[in-house]
Amino acid sequence: MNEAHLHLLLNHVPILGSLFGLVTLAVGLLRSDASVMRTGLIALLGAAVLCLPVQLTGEGAEEVLQGLPNISASIINAHEEAAEVAFWVLELTGALAILTLLQATRTQLMARLVLASAVLSFVLLAWAGSLGGQISHPEARAGFVAPSVE
């Protein structure tokens, strides 16, 4: 197994984990349910931690793909830049989640701040994932026209 394979296996975890965490946290906030809020915060922290191996395998995945036919360096670079921003925003979200979990009484303000950060994290991660998918999937690229079947 090479780093590209490992990167592909892991890259969905932070995206889906952040979505699960933000939805769970939002439900906890709406219901004023501390245990549901705690579950959302823990999920967001988990997504932030699990994003580390994804980020660390990205460079190796790029090296595996360099020079292969139909692999666009500009798409790889766009994905890399988007992923870098998304990574740091998710790490900030995880840090805020930890601070909120460590508070004796979880304030609605802190939980809402984490929720806002989680929404931004998810959007950025989904964008980075979309760009990553375009690296090896031309059908996901803008302007793709499927060949006619005769």
Q: 82-111, pLDDT tens digit by residue?
A: 999 999 999 999 999 999 999 867 678 899
Contacts of 137 by beta carbon, 8 Å cutoff, 6+ apart: none
pLDDT at 136: 75
pLDDT at 106: 64
pLDDT at 146: 67
Give the CATH number of the domain where residue 18 resides: 1.20.120
Point out the residues of the chain with pLDDT beneath 50: none
pLDDT at 139: 59
pLDDT at 71: 80
pLDDT at 140: 58
Q: Is residue 17 part of a domain?
A: yes
Q: Is residue 30 part of a domain?
A: yes
Q: Is residue 44 part of a domain?
A: yes
Neighbours of 54 (CB within 10 A): 27
pLDDT at 141: 60
pLDDT at 53: 94
Q: Is residue 148 part of a domain?
A: no
Q: Is residue 149 part of a domain?
A: no
Contact 96, 116 (CB under 8 A): no
Contact 65, 76 (CB under 8 A): yes
Domain that holds residue 8: 3-64+71-138
Summarised one tens digit per residue, pLDDT across range 103-125 is 867 678 899 999 999 999 999 99
Both tokens of 98, joined, read: 């930890």
